[in-house]
Structure 1
Amino acid sequence: MNYLDRKYQATMSVHQLSILLQYSNQDVFQLGNFVPLTALSLPTIIRAAKALVETGFLISNEKDLTELSVLTLNTSFNSKRINVKVALPQSSKPQEKEAEATCNTLMQDRKYYMECTIVRIMKARKVMKHNLLVEEVLKQTQSRFFPDVQFIKKNIEALIDKLYIQRTDQNDEYEYIS
């Protein structure tokens, strides 16, 4: 930080740096003005700016930052340490929703992959015992993920309901329906 009386070495993310670099031309910015200047989304800019405000590099009169918030460069920044680390504030709710959505998508993809694998095996073998089918499914899917036997059983039942396979007269045997 060259504009201060004392030299500081700051560690921050690229997003935070891109915001701070805009202050080389002027000392006051409206938060929404960073969107075209940095090519970042507004939520990303708000997160990065919030961290810069909490660290003390920027000054804001508002606690909750919005697009209309005015941020001023703190030209009288002072810290006991020479090395200053700017951490990103953690936003738990959006991350939890995103993680849940990713998990749901992953489980759906695995379900479809499992069903395709079972149908492919049954189409090739026509008739197969339950244990052999489960074994073969485990062999073919282990390159992508390790399914548990309960997950395989659920998918076999789903394929029976969808009329891709059916149980034979022997209870532990399945037959492919063409």
Structure 2
Amino acid sequence: MCLLTMFNDQPTLSYHALLQHLQVTDQELKSHLIPLCQFKILSKQPTGKEFKMEDQFSVNFNFHSNIIKVKIPVVHSKVQKSAESQDLQKKVEDDRKHIIDATLVKVMKARRKLDHNTLISETTKILALKFMPNVANIKQRIEGLIEREYIERDKEDRRFYKYLA
């Protein structure tokens, strides 16, 4: 972020001015300002942890570090991380649904007719190399394949499934 270059033109900037010039969200600006203030690269007036629109920031020209290259971490909010992890989890679940469907069809295409327990055990064995599938998810995907007419229950013995070409 070009936050520090803003201070090339003016020695002191308000929080509100930084928000307007950078055109970022309040949370994103805070995540960059917090470490800069903690490492005392920027001075904040009045001092405190909260950021108000009228707070003034200026470069601390007395800043000195023994390290040649200073690494400043960016603070990420827990809300942002949890939202990203939920999105990632949903994407993984969607991908796994397709993988389970493909594996079920592959097993049924090879065997043509199979009982429920054998289908689940063979599918689990194949998928165990990629991830450990939940039996409830496999059953749900079997029902989905029946609805989409990839497989059907045997009319004589309901424990068996038949592959539909």
Structure-2-length-normalised TM-score: 0.70
Match of 2:145 in 1: 159
Q: Which runs of 4+ in 1 moved over 6 A?
A: 81-85
Give the direction of change, closer, same or farther, for the CA distance of 1:143–1:131 in structure 2 (3 Å limit): same
Q: CA RMSD in A?
A: 3.4
Match of 1:177 in 2: 164
Give the percent of matched residue pairs that are identical in Structure 1 and Structure 2: 26
What CA distance in whole angstroms lies between the structure 2 residues aligned with 1:75 and 1:174? 76
Amino acid at match of 2:43: I
Match of 1:107 in 2: 93
Q: How do 1:15-94 and structure 2 match up within 5 A?
A: 28=11, 31=18, 42=24, 46=29, 47-61=31-45, 63-64=50-51, 71-77=57-63, 88-94=74-80
Matched, 1:125 2:141: no
Match of 1:96 in 2: 82
Match of 1:11 in 2: none
Query: 1:128 is paired with a residue of what secondary structure?
Result: strand
What CA distance in whole angstroms lies between the structure 2 residues aligned with 1:127 and 1:115? 16
Match of 1:3 in 2: none
How far residue 42 of structure 1 moved from its aligned partner, in angstroms, is 5.0
Amino acid at match of 2:143: E
Amino acid at match of 1:172: R
CA deviations 1:52-76 (Å, max 9, x no partner) are: 123322124585489xx97421124
Structure-1-length-normalised TM-score: 0.66
Unaligned residue ranges in structure 1 (runs of 5+)? 1-14, 36-40
How far residue 134 of structure 1 moved from its aligned partner, in angstroms, is 1.0
Match of 1:5 in 2: none
Q: Which moved more, 1:52-61 or 1:124-133?
A: 52-61
Unaligned residue ranges in structure 2 (runs of 5+)? none
